[in-house]
Amino acid sequence: MSRISSLAATTVSITQMLKLQKTLYDDQYKVNFEQNSPDYAGIDTQSQRLVNLENTQSALENYVGQNTVVDTRLSIMEVSLTSVQKTISDFQTNLNTYATGLSKTSVNIGDIQAKAFDSLKALEGYLNTEADGQYLLSGSKLLDAPVDFGLTTLANFQAKYDGATVKVPTSREAHIDDFSFGTDLNSTSADWLSFERRNATSGLSRITAATAQFANMTAGTTITISNTAGVNDGTYEVSAVDSAGLYVDLVTKQLTDETTAVTTTFTSQNSINPLTLDTFSTDVTFARGTNTITAAAAGALSTLSAGAQFTVAGTVSNDGTYTVESNDGTNLVIKSKRLTNSGSSGVATPTSPIAGPNLAFVDGGAGADTITAPINTFQDASGNPYPVGTKIRISGTGGANDGQVYTIASVSADRSTATLQTSDNVTAAPALGGTITTVPEYFYHEDTATGLTFNDNTPAADTIVAPAGTFVDASGAALPAGTRLTISGATAAANDGTYTIASVSADKSTVTLISTDTLDNATSGVASTGTMVTTKSAGTIANSSYYQGDTINRGHRISSTRSFDLDLTALDPAFEKAIRAMKLIAQGSYDSEGGLDNNSERVSQAQYLLTSSLKKTVAGTPPFGAEQISNFEQVQTDIAFDRVLIKTTETVHTKYIGFLQTSISGIERADKLEFAARLLDDQRSLEASYQIFSKVRQLSLMNFL
């Protein structure tokens, strides 16, 4: 062998050149990208520290980003609240001007009430401000508008809140009550309420539940009653709540019977000069059934025109203020607010029209009559057969059965045939078309226990006679045909029972019963004691707060150690007090019993609420008891503090992020000049290595011979 280099020497040389070549490549990366390594493995001794620094920087940058979003929302909120505050302040100025003015004309009153209504509408818009598609003042319900006053026109608002029988809630608790229940929550029974026109204890209209359902209701709350088949549907104000939660008494406007004429003093505003009062005295009687005041002398009440407000004094039980509904000069009817002593069961549900010849009426002779129709006719919405006792009314057949009400005794398995109670008689008629409608049962009672007369008029229909105006609903209209009367405590026990009204006389004193209802012949025409009582009935009682959001606090963490709650909602007392004040002024139309002109104390009450809404301190005594202390000064201070806290924390975060970036750069970044010099050195070293390796490979012992 003549070569000088060996395999071992060659391998070592190649290994060293490869290492030098890798170093050269690393230097080229550092020079080109100014980074020490493309991955953490290239800086293995510093990788853990680098990861920690990068995680800390990422967390801080996330805080900064979130803080920017929240600060933007708070900034928008500040702008909105400034508008809200200005609206309240402007209305307060207008109200103060009105309060100090000597003239309280219809124009001035109408103007301040219009301003109150317009201010409410403006507040509704400002409080429903949103940012990035999310509402700012609705708690955690970010997609739901927080405020809904249900405003349409001032006239409609005053129709709901007349200021006399239904007033704007004066306490915060009553103002923000929000509930709706249409069944007994303990038994889920839909027939769970009874309605009394006048409770003997309180003298007010009363709603009584089957169990303690009203425990959490507040006096002063405005409630809406529905699903009573129109008998007691309407808006009412709660006057008192039973401590056990069994009943609520309602603000009521009605007369008490005084059948003996009493000299009564009437006082009303002069029709020409409202600042003066007209007073006169005359003998009158009072009738609760029709809410009528009747003068002993014809025409003695002629000075009181429809719509006029008047005050009576000197009576046994009827002293108070009333509004004229109608007046013929002798008989004056007041505007009333009361319940009808009634209950109901079921709702009217018509079938789809049944085409002929698919509806047939079968006279069963000595047996029960039947009605046949297509399969699945006699069933409810759930597909269950109509229960025993369901009443149905026939229409559209063009025959004698139209308008008749029948009671179901049983239904066939395929729901095509209804067998009626044996007391019901149909007129036989095959192959007809028409409609079958289920009929709700109405139960009525009058709270007087005397003055009933039961007349057996065989062979004509029997009648029950009571004082005029007895058989009326809450609006004074005659009770509809089909109403059920349940009599108890009659002098003749044979007259106790449940009867169905066929018609009511013009003066609402006499009901004619359906032909199948019979009274006791032995006591016919004899005056009797007795009470027409009610059963539990269906109905829904609800109150809707203006606030539609929730009270769930949304926390915001501004750093790893600091956070605050985003808990401001449109339910805050700063807003609620102002809203309540504006509603107090807007309620009740001019020259009515509940109008601002006749309830001037509302001005000072609203002034207190507005001041309490705007400022931390307010002089005077709260008109409706202690109010919650939140106010605009405090709200704006809290928001400003949160924004300053965000700004201060963001400054600290920004500085710390700069420090972290410097530290990370010190680990990651390479000095371009330094590694450029190293690159040149390594390049020369590699070139020399190649040259030496090549030279050694060429050497041979033959070169030295």
Q: What is the pLDDT of residues 161-193, one digit of tens each?
A: 999 989 999 999 999 998 888 877 776 666 678
d(CA 496, CA 179): 39
Cα distances (Å, whole numbers) of residue 330 to 294, 322, 467, 468: 6, 16, 19, 16
Q: Is residue 365 part of a domain?
A: yes
Residue 145 lies in a domain: yes
pLDDT at residue 438 is higher than 50: yes
Mean pLDDT for the stretch of residues 149-170 = 93
Q: Is 358 helix (H, G, I), strand (E, B) or coil?
A: strand
In this structure, what CATH number is given to the domain that contains residue 378?
A: 2.40.30.20
Banded pLDDT at 535 (limits 50, 70, 90): very low
Nearest to 579 by CA among 141, 90, 98, 121: 121
Does pLDDT of 522 surpass 80? no
| CA atoms of 705 and 688, how far apart (whole Å) | 27
Q: Which residue has the tokens 């940058």?
A: 61
Question: How confident is the prediction for the chain on average, in pLDDT?
Answer: 83
Q: How many CB atoms lie within 10 A of CB 101?
A: 11
Query: In this structure, are residues 412 and 161 in contact, taking their beta carbons and an 8 Å threshold?
Result: no
The DSSP output letter for 264 is: E
pLDDT of residue 50: 76
| 189 assigned to some structural domain | no
The predicted pLDDT at position 188 comes to 64
Residue 72 pLDDT greater than 90, yes or no: yes
Instruction: Report the C-alpha gap between 112 and 608 in whole angstroms.
Output: 17
Span 540-547, average pLDDT: 89
The residue behind tokens 């009653």 is 225
* Mean pLDDT score, 475-489: 70
What's residue 530's pLDDT? 53
Compare 679 and 414 and report the one with higher pLDDT: 414
| Other C-beta atoms lying within 10 Å of the C-beta of residue 247 | 20
pLDDT at 391 over 80: no
Last residue of a domain, one of 315, 336, 357: 336
Element (H, E) at 641: helix 632-668
Amino acid (1-letter code) at residue 338 = R
Determine, yes or no, domain membership for 429.
yes
Q: Who has greater pLDDT, 112 or 389?
A: 112
In a domain, 37, yes or no: yes
| Percentage above 70 pLDDT, the chain | 84
When divided into structural domains, the chain yields a total of: 4
Residue 215 lies in a domain: no
Least confident among 105-119, 412-426, 670-684: 670-684
Token pair belonging to 675: 């590694």
How many Å separate Cα 489 from the centre of its chain? 42
Tokens of 287: 């009738």
Mean pLDDT of 115-124: 97
In this predicted model, what pLDDT tens digit does every residue of 565-580 receive, in sequence order?
Answer: 899 999 999 999 999 9
pLDDT at 348 over 50: no
Average of per-residue pLDDT across 81-86: 96
Domain match, 363 and 331 both: no
The residues facing 513 across adjacent strands are: 501
A 10 A CB-CB count for 648 gives 12
> What does the alpha-carbon distance between residue 194 and residue 98 come to, in Å, rounded to a whole number?
45
Domain boundary among 396, 412, 439: 439
Question: Helix, strand, or coil here: 206?
Answer: strand
- The pLDDT assigned to 448 comes to 45
Q: What is the pLDDT of residues 667-692, one digit of tens each?
A: 666 566 666 777 677 777 777 777 77
- Give the CATH number for residue 163: 1.20.1330
Domain termination residue (choose one: 571, 602, 624):
624
The overall pTM is greater than 0.85: no
- What's the domain range around 674? 7-45+669-704
- Residue 535: both structure tokens together: 């059963």
Listed as own residue / partner, the contacts of 299-304 with beta carbons closer than 8 Å and 24 or more positions apart are: 299/329, 299/330, 300/329, 300/330, 301/266, 301/327, 301/329, 301/330, 301/331, 301/332, 302/327, 302/329, 303/268, 303/278, 304/266, 304/268, 304/332
Same domain for 287 and 329, yes or no, is yes
Please state whether beta strands 441-444 and 483-488 pair in parallel, antiparallel, or not at all (unpaired).
parallel
User: Which residue is it, tokens 């301190």?
Assistant: 617
What mean pLDDT do residues 693-702 have? Answer: 70
79 with 39, same domain: the answer is no
Does residue 464 contact residue 511 with C-beta atoms inside 8 Å? yes
CA nearest to 103, candidates 268, 272, 271, 274: 274
Tell me the DSSP string of 588-599.
S-TTSTTSGGG-
Same domain, 305 and 278: yes
- Say which residue, 417 or 32, is predicted with more confidence: 417
pLDDT of residue 402 exceeding 70, the answer is: yes
Same domain, 77 and 158: yes
Look at 688 and 123; give whichever has higher pLDDT: 123
Q: pLDDT grade, residue 22 (50/70/90)?
A: confident
Instruction: Choose among 443, 460, 462: nearest CA to 452.
Output: 462
Does residue 412 share a domain with residue 386?
yes
Please state, as a whole number, how many other Cβ atoms lie within 10 Å of the Cβ of residue 592: 20
Pick the most confident of 44-48, 401-405, 612-616: 612-616
The predicted structure's pLDDT at residue 238: 93
In this predicted structure, the answer to whether residue 533 has a pLDDT above a threshold of 60 is no
Question: Do 359 and 324 fall into the same domain?
Answer: no
Note whether 86 and 155 are same-domain residues: yes
